[in-house]
């Protein structure tokens, strides 16, 4: 049978098909939909590269009606959200440093303190092997899928019976070894001292530490005539970005090391943001957060620089991500009584400081 | 009237009733007694009360049938008669023939099952109660797993128990020896499986409802078994609800072109990858074998074969092909029509089946580049303006359209080709000269995310998808015909650049083609889109996540794992994993011992052997636990990347050795379950003189029902023979170590009769030592290695001569000097053929190719033996070609392993005659084996004898 559709009808049908595994969407619908599309692509295409996965989604919806699924930036954001949730995993095959592979995590769950479960991964070709009786309870927020506690049988028991494995919360929250800013930077600087001269590096952007950490996007700039050591990025050979720690001499890249360098379980971006936090701390301009308490018994914690994946994950067991305001980059909402442990962790590991709520960016 | 007789009558009534309910042709099992736990304990009482009286037993034979079956239901491949005696006080083992006669009576009077197959011949008494126990607890797991693995196809085979049983027997992949026994009885296997899969059917149709519930309840005690059976039942239920079962008169047909379309959809594909230095390398995407689950004529053969890739010169374990999306880099460009993958014995006939779909196509080879440094092959050689391509050619091409690009493949020419959007019409002739066409005007691409998309003309979808395509024309189209098979639809008036979407729901499994025909006045242009529809690929139950793992060569036997004959490979991610080996008395039982260690992935066979030897076996308690263990599991856990696991069980042979330890004693026991009157003989060879065997006294062994035993066995090889059955074990128990000197093996010189018969005996001794079971003591493994190497060197020395043997000894001290000496000796031999010299010159390179390729190369030389020893040569095969191949493989096996005698079978003596007459052939084989220094293995390690020479 051959059925003819117009572009809108076809798009709607494709979206319906993708939305099956989303359940009730909380928060940004477009991001959740893009995440569903990436998961579907991962189920049939992984292992493959990040760019191939994003292209599979964007290419499948391009030139149709104006949908979020053809918005490369949004699909890329959904991809990162799935790395954050743990749905997707990254590995670097030997000899293929420029072409890391992405894998779909096996069907697993992370048990949350309130008895609910965050669902991770899926099966090749199949996707999320969730029993039919649990599907109505499924909720999605961005790259996260959750089954709230409740019902006669515990969600955890039902998931185990359905073949999901438990992924321990402490393993999900795994972070790099605890280092002081000096230790971290000292290690990177020694590595940079030891490498030979860099060849020609095109299209470099550097993160200018002299600019305010309260406006992350504004800190990225071309090298100009700068000299010194910087976090930097260049376009990756096969798409994406390559994160670097570089030494500039009058705007020329003299030396470079590719990140991650300290802990290759994490992305280059995670290590770059961690190193930048150390640089800012040692420069006396530490990165900051703002805590806003409301009368409704909740608080919003806003950050102005990106958090490494291992730091952002710390917030999810107790907080939900919300839309940002006032120049912030990421914000989380949580009960007033919660979050102290997580903030303490960020102070300890990323050396952030609390800024007054009324400070403008 | 005693209660025993009452029980007898009750059971008679019960089984008689069942007989009237059960469809003819289906067996009634003694386990279908319908008794609850209390009643079962009454049976036990009855049996105890009547055990000593033959007359009483005859009068209450049904309780005895039930009792013996209940013992069998709990049987886990251990010792049936010991368990039976323990639960039957007063039982005289000499009465076991009575029990068999009683089960035969049950078969006659109540249509009880009759065991069949090889195992029933071997275990000719205990096969009866075991068969009647339907699914002993240790088999429940295996069957649940088999049903799970085959769940997607079960619904096609529900018509009769035989159909289902035959399907499962043919396609169930893994399993223990005991499960293999069950597979030999497809009628029973099918009936049991239907009972488990169809709880919706009337009670008693396949199995008594209460019996099914009991088995399912026991099976559900294990999480995985419960899941497997649950998924299998759901899949069958879903298929029946959506398609209707055969039994309901709606046959579920296999698509007529399934073989061809599955072969096509699974075909290996050559694609290109660009490296950081900009050069392009060809890679082969391996075919996915799991898709052949339904195709008996192909699947079975593929699984037992050892595939190799001629253009990569590498062979790999067939288990690897059960995983999707795996690539192998190629070292050369395949010739047109050359098989991309080949299959060694015994599946060489299979090549004919796959040849058409799995060969390298002819030129032109056009690849479409993506933005990520990859280029996918185009089925149709047409280029689209504005898209980048790579054109590959064996001869240099000269054209203004082509720009050369670098490649790692010698002798190949690769060119980049990208037409400007406005230049297509002007260069049509030039493209035609290059064998290419041009795709103009209309662009078609999939909507949504298909399982695969080559970027131009081929997409792959799952059976559960609804394929849809967007059509975008760069000009107004007045009349577009869309064809799918013999149906068409006309779409009028398509505006330029305005996407139109077509969906093609309901396409069945297999290959389809969507054709678009644009008719514009007299001109007609056509565009075709290949659509492959495939079933979702089932996940292997013991693999969770992106890890892929297999046992190579495949075995589910614990002894093969422990001895290193089978190795474990895991690939998928470069990561660290915890590798844990657990030993237990049976699956689900508490571990006897467990050892874990971290390892880097990928895990190679070499790395696995080192892990096993250096980390797992030496861990506390493992050595002792191994001797008691009947089951083992290896689990590799890679954190978020998941895990994969492998299970192993003891071989179940009618006679087998067990080493039993107490705090103060060590006893070597021979379990004899042949239940035949064949005479049992036991021989022992000491490590120091491995070819001399002493016969040990076995008087009274068979009467006890528990075999034969020996307290504090001396170190050495023990061989037991009963009728056609043989079991060998290597024992080295050192109660007290007085000094390190106790660890040193002193071997005495061996004298050999240098005739083909004498040498075949020596080769067979080496093989026996090499394949005997090991006990847990690590010294046993080390001494065995020394013995095997000692015997093998002696064999080589006898066949190749002492001067050659002296040269080989130098190789171990100084590889380069020794090899040069051997080469010199070989090429200066009078009348040595040029082909041998050529082989020796290329030996290092050749030693890195697939083993099958090495055999092919040596076969060219082996044929020359026809002139030297024509009679023996002629005995090796039906014709010259098969004799050449057999002699070449025999030579290389003999040169590098001890398994040649079993492989050669009746050809052993003539093959040795040829080698004795013309030692140059074996010398060439040995040279090849020794040429690569990395193939030399230490004296204390075995297997393998030579690394890189692992024979299937």
Token pair, residue B688, equals 């120091």
Phi, psi of A61 (to 5 degrees): -125, 5
Residues of A in contact with B482 (CB under 8 A): 2
Residue B225's nearest CA partner among B138, B310, B104 is B138
CA B892 to each of CA B42, B536, B857, B925: distance values in angstroms, whole numbers, following the listed order: 63, 42, 11, 5
Could B641 and A121 be called an inter-chain contact, meaning their C-beta atoms sit closer than 8 Å?
no
> Which pLDDT tens digit goes with each residue over A289-305?
999 888 778 888 999 99
CA B563 to each of CA A199, A310, B338, B651, B941: distance values in angstroms, whole numbers, following the listed order: 52, 43, 38, 13, 10
Using CA atoms of B19, B22, B27, B32 in order, give the dihedral in degrees to the nearest 10: -70
Could A44 and B573 be called an inter-chain contact, meaning their C-beta atoms sit closer than 8 Å?
no
Could B501 and A6 be called an inter-chain contact, meaning their C-beta atoms sit closer than 8 Å?
yes
Residue in chain A nearest B446 by alpha carbon? A60
Residue A216's nearest CA partner among A319, A358, A73, A324 is A324
What is the number of other CB atoms lying within 10 angstroms of the CB of residue B877? 15
Q: B339: which DSSP letter? A: B
Residue B857's nearest CA partner among B865, B872, B847 is B847
CA atoms within 13 A on the CB side of A258: 11
Token pair, residue B118, equals 């090889």
Tell me what pLDDT residue B79 has: 80
Which H or E element spans position B527?
strand B523-534
Tell me what pLDDT residue B421 has: 72
CB pairs < 8 Å spanning A and B? 155
Q: Report whether B407 contacts B434 (CB < 8 A).
A: no
Q: How far apart are CA A85 and CA A108, in angstroms?
A: 11
Q: How far apart are CA B669 and CA B598, in angstroms?
A: 36
Could A2 and B506 be called an inter-chain contact, meaning their C-beta atoms sit closer than 8 Å?
no
Tell me what pLDDT residue B184 has: 81
Residue B538's nearest CA partner among B243, B325, B322 is B322
Residues of B in contact with A103 (CB under 8 A): 545-546, 572-573, 641
Which H or E element spans position B392?
strand B388-393
Q: Is B329 on the interface with A (CB under 8 A)?
A: no
**A108-111 and A165-166 beta bridge pairing:** parallel
The list of chain B residues with pLDDT below 50 reads 1, 245-253, 702
Phi, psi of B222 (to 5 degrees): -105, 130
The whole-angstrom distance between A98's CA and the closest CA on chain B is 8
Mutation to test the A interface, candidates B570, B640, B641, B644, most A Cβ within 10 Å: B640
Tell me what pLDDT residue B273 has: 94
Q: How far apart are CA B393 and CA A26, in angstroms?
A: 55
What is the number of other CB atoms lying within 10 angstroms of the CB of residue B161? 24
- pLDDT over 90 at A38, yes or no: yes
Q: How far apart are CA B708 and CA B722, in angstroms?
A: 12
Chain B 212-271, residues with CB within 8 Å of chain A CB atoms: 223, 226-227, 231
Closest Cβ opposite residue A60 in set B448, B503, B574: B448
Q: How far apart are CA B942 and CA B785, in angstroms?
A: 5
Please list, in sequence order, all residues whose beta carbon lies within 8 angstroms of the beta carbon of residue A57, skipping any fewer than 6 positions away.
Answer: A34, A37, A38, A41, A69, A75, B449
Could B372 and A160 be called an inter-chain contact, meaning their C-beta atoms sit closer than 8 Å?
no
Tell me what pLDDT residue A188 has: 97
CA B30 to each of CA B40, B116, B129, B133, B136: distance values in angstroms, whole numbers, following the listed order: 13, 17, 8, 7, 13
Phi, psi of B389 (to 5 degrees): -130, 165
Q: How far apart are CA B573 and CA B643, in angstroms?
A: 11
ipTM of the complex: 0.89
pTM for the model stands at 0.86
Could A125 and B642 be called an inter-chain contact, meaning their C-beta atoms sit closer than 8 Å?
no
CA atoms within 13 A on the CB side of A336: 7
Q: What is the mean pLDDT of residues A238-254?
A: 92
Q: What is the mean pLDDT of residues A13-33?
A: 85
> Which pLDDT tens digit goes with each residue over A179-218?
999 999 999 999 999 999 998 888 999 999 999 999 999 9
Q: How far apart are CA B936 and CA B811, in angstroms?
A: 10
Secondary structure (H, E, C), B626-687: HHHCCEEEEEEECHHHCEEEEEEECCCCCEEEEEEECCCCEEEEEEECCCCCCCEEEEEECC
What is the number of other CB atoms lying within 10 angstroms of the CB of residue A330? 18
Q: B783: which DSSP letter? A: H
Q: Is B370 on the interface with A (CB under 8 A)?
A: yes
Chain A 70-99, residues with CB within 8 Å of chain B CB atoms: 86, 89, 91-94, 98-99
Q: How far apart are CA B368 and CA B383, in angstroms?
A: 8
What residues does B719 pair with on adjacent strands?
B683, B728
**Mean of the per-residue pLDDT values of chain A:** 89
Cα B115–Cα B117–Cα B121 angle in degrees, nearest 5:
80
Tell me what pLDDT residue B130 has: 92
What residues does B666 pair with on adjacent strands?
B661
Tell me what pLDDT residue A311 has: 94
CA atoms within 13 A on the CB side of B621: 11
Q: How far apart are CA B62 and CA B66, in angstroms?
A: 6
Q: Report whether B927 contacts B858 (CB < 8 A).
A: no
Cα B462–Cα B463–Cα B465 angle in degrees, nearest 5:
65
Q: How far apart are CA A188 and CA A245, in angstroms?
A: 8
CA atoms within 13 A on the CB side of B69: 28
Residue B68's nearest CA partner among B152, B144, B127, B23 is B127
Residues of B in contact with A86 (CB under 8 A): 640
Could B539 and A123 be called an inter-chain contact, meaning their C-beta atoms sit closer than 8 Å?
yes
Q: What is the mean pLDDT of residues A97-107?
A: 88
Tell me what pLDDT residue B706 has: 59
Tell me what pLDDT residue B251 has: 41
Tell me what pLDDT residue B246 has: 43
Q: Is A20 on the interface with B (CB under 8 A)?
A: no
Tell me what pLDDT residue B174 has: 62
Residue B402's nearest CA partner among B389, B412, B411 is B389
Q: How far apart are CA B822 and CA B836, in angstroms?
A: 13
Q: How far apart are CA B545 and CA A104, in angstroms?
A: 7
Chain B 271-290, residues with CB within 8 Å of chain A CB atoms: 276
Could A5 and B503 be called an inter-chain contact, meaning their C-beta atoms sit closer than 8 Å?
yes
**B388-393 and B413-418 beta bridge pairing:** antiparallel
Q: How far apart are CA A216 and CA A212, in angstroms?
A: 8
CA A272 to each of CA A116, A304, B9, B308: distance values in angstroms, whole numbers, following the listed order: 33, 15, 83, 44
Residue with the bigger pLDDT between A85 and B312: it is: A85
Mutation to test the B interface, candidates A39, A48, A103, A260, most B Cβ within 10 Å: A103
Q: How far apart are CA B130 and CA B185, in angstroms?
A: 12
Q: Report whether B402 contacts B417 (CB < 8 A).
A: yes
Could A10 and B447 be called an inter-chain contact, meaning their C-beta atoms sit closer than 8 Å?
yes
> Which pLDDT tens digit goes with each residue over A300-325?
899 999 999 999 998 887 777 777 77
Token pair, residue B439, equals 């795709």
The whole-angstrom distance between B610's CA and the closest CA on chain A is 21
């Amino acid at each position: 049978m051959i059925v003819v559709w117009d572009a809108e009808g076809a798009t709607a049908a494709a979206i319906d098909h993708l939305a099956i595994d989303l359940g009730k969407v909380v928060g940004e619908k477009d991001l959740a939909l893009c995440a569903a599309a990436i998961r579907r692509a991962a189920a049939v295409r992984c292992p493959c590269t990040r760019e191939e996965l994003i292209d599979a989604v964007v290419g499948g919806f391009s030139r149709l009606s104006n949908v979020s699924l053809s918005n490369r930036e949004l699909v890329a954001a959904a991809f990162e959200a799935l790395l954050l949730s743990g749905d997707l995993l990254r590995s670097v095959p030997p000899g293929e440093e420029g072409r890391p592979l992405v894998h779909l995590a096996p069907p697993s769950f992370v048990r949350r303190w309130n008895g609910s479960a965050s669902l991770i991964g899926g099966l090749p070709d199949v996707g999320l092997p969730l029993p039919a009786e649990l599907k109505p309870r499924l909720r999605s927020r961005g790259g996260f899928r959750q089954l709230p506690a409740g019902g006669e049988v515990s969600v955890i028991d039902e998931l185990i019976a359905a073949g999901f494995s438990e992924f321990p919360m402490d393993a999900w929250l795994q972070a790099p070894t605890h280092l002081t800013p000096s230790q971290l930077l000292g290690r990177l600087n020694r590595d940079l001292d030891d490498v030979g001269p860099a060849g020609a590096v095109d299209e470099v952007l550097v993160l200018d530490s002299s600019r305010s950490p309260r406006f992350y996007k504004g800190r990225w700039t071309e090298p100009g005539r700068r000299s010194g050591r910087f976090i930097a990025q260049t376009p990756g050979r096969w798409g994406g970005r390559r994160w670097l720690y570089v030494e500039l001499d009058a705007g020329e890249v003299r030396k470079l090391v590719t990140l991650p360098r300290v802990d290759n379980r994490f992305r280059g971006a995670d290590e770059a943001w961690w190193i930048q936090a150390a640089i800012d701390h040692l420069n006396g301009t530490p990165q900051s957060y703002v805590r806003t308490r409301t009368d409704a018994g909740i608080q919003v914690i806003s950050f102005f620089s990106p958090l490494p994946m291992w730091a952002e994950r710390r917030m999810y067991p107790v907080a939900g991500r919300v839309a940002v305001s006032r120049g912030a980059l990421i914000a989380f909402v949580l009960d007033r009584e919660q979050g102290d442990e997580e903030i303490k962790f960020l102070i300890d590991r990323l050396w952030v400081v609390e800024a007054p709520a009324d400070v403008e960016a | 009237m005693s209660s025993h007789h009452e029980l007898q009558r009750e059971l008679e009534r019960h089984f008689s009733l069942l007989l009237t309910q059960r469809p003819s042709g289906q067996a009634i099992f003694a386990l279908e007694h319908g008794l609850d736990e209390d009643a079962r304990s009454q049976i036990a009482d009855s049996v105890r009360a009547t055990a000593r009286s033959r007359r009483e037993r005859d009068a209450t034979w049904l309780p005895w049938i039930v009792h013996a079956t209940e013992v069998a239901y709990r049987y886990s491949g251990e010792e049936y008669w010991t368990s039976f005696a323990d639960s039957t006080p007063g039982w005289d083992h000499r009465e076991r023939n009575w029990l068999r006669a009683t089960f035969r009576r049950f078969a006659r009077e109540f249509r009880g099952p009759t065991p069949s197959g090889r195992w029933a011949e071997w275990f000719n008494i205990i096969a009866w109660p075991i068969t009647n126990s339907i699914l002993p607890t240790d088999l429940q797991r295996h069957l649940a797993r088999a049903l799970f693995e085959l769940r997607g196809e079960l619904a096609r085979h529900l018509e009769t128990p035989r159909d289902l049983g035959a399907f499962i027997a043919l396609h169930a992949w893994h399993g223990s020896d005991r499960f293999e026994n069950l597979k030999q009885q497809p009628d029973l296997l099918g009936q049991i499986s239907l009972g488990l899969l169809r709880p919706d059917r009337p009670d008693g149709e396949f199995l008594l409802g209460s019996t099914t519930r009991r088995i399912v309840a026991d099976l559900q005690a294990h999480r995985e078994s419960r899941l497997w059976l649950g998924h299998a039942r759901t899949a069958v239920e879903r298929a029946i609800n959506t398609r209707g079962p055969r039994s309901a008169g709606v046959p579920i047909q296999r698509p007529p072109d399934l073989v061809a379309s599955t072969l096509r959809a699974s075909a290996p594909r050559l694609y290109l990858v660009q490296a950081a230095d900009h050069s392009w390398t060809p890679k082969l995407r391996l075919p996915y074998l799991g898709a052949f689950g339904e195709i008996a004529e192909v699947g079975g053969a593929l699984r037992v074969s050892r595939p190799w890739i001629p253009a990569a010169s590498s062979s790999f374990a067939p288990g690897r092909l059960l995983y999707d999306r795996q690539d192998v880099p190629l070292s050369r460009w395949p010739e047109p029509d050359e098989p991309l993958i080949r299959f060694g014995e015994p599946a060489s006939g299979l090549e004919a089946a796959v040849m058409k779909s799995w060969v390298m196509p002819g030129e032109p080879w056009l690849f479409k580049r993506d933005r990520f440094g990859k280029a996918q092959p185009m089925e149709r050689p047409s280029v689209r303006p504005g898209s980048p391509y790579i054109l590959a050619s064996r001869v240099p091409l000269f054209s203004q359209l082509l720009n050369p690009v670098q490649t790692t493949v010698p002798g190949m020419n690769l060119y980049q080709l990208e037409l400007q959007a406005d230049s297509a019409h002007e260069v049509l002739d030039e493209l035609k000269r290059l064998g290419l066409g041009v795709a103009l005007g209309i662009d078609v691409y999939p909507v949504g995310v298909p399982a695969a998309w080559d970027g131009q003309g081929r997409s792959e979808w799952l059976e559960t998808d609804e394929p849809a395509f967007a059509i975008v024309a760069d000009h107004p189209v007045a009349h577009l015909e869309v064809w799918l098979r013999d149906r068409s639809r006309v779409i009028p008036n398509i505006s330029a650049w305005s996407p139109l979407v077509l969906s093609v729901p309901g396409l069945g499994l297999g290959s389809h083609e969507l054709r678009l025909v644009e008719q514009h006045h007299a001109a007609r242009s056509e565009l075709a889109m290949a659509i492959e529809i495939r079933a979702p690929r089932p996940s292997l139950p013991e693999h969770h996540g992106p890890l892929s793992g297999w046992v190579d060569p495949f075995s589910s036997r614990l002894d093969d794992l422990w001895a290193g004959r089978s190795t474990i490979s895991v690939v998928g991610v470069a990561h660290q994993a915890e590798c844990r080996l657990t030993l237990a008395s049976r699956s689900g039982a508490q571990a006897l011992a467990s050892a874990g260690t971290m390892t880097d992935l990928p895990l190679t066979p070499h790395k696995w052997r080192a892990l096993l030897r250096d980390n797992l076996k030496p861990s506390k308690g493992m050595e002792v636990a191994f001797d008691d263990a009947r089951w083992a599991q290896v689990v590799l856990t890679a954190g978020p990347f998941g895990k994969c696991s492998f299970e192993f069980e003891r071989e179940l042979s009618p006679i087998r050795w067990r080493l039993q330890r107490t705090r103060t004693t060590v006893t070597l026991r021979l379990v004899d379950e042949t239940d035949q009157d064949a005479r049992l003989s036991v021989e022992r060879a000491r490590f120091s003189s491995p070819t001399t065997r002493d016969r040990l006294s076995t008087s009274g062994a068979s009467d006890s029902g528990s075999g034969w035993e020996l307290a504090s066995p001396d170190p050495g090889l023990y061989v037991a023979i009963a009728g056609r059955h043989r079991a060998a074990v290597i024992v080295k128990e050192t109660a007290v170590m007085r000094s390190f000197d106790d660890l040193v093996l002193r071997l005495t010189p061996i004298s050999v009769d240098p005739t083909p018969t004498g040498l075949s005996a020596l080769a067979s001794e080496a093989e026996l030592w090499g394949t005997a079971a090991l006990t847990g003591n690590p010294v046993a493994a080390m001494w065995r290695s020394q013995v095997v190497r000692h015997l093998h060197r002696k064999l080589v020395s006898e066949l190749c001569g002492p001067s050659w043997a002296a040269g080989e000894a130098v190789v171990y001290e100084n590889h380069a000097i020794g090899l040069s000496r051997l080469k010199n000796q070989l090429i200066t031999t009078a009348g040595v053929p040029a082909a041998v010299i050529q082989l020796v010159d290329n030996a290092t390179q050749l030693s890195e190719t697939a083993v099958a390729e090495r055999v092919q190369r040596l076969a060219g030389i082996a044929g020359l033996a026809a002139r030297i020893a024509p009679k023996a040569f002629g005995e090796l095969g039906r014709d010259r070609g098969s004799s050449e191949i057999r002699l070449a493989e025999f030579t290389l096996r003999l040169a590098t392993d001890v398994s040649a005698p079993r492989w050669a079978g009746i050809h052993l003596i003539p093959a040795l005659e040829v080698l004795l007459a013309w030692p140059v052939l074996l010398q060439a084989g040995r040279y090849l084996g020794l040429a690569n220094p990395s193939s030399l293995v230490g004296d204390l390690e075995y297997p393998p004898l030579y690394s890189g020479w692992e024979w299937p």
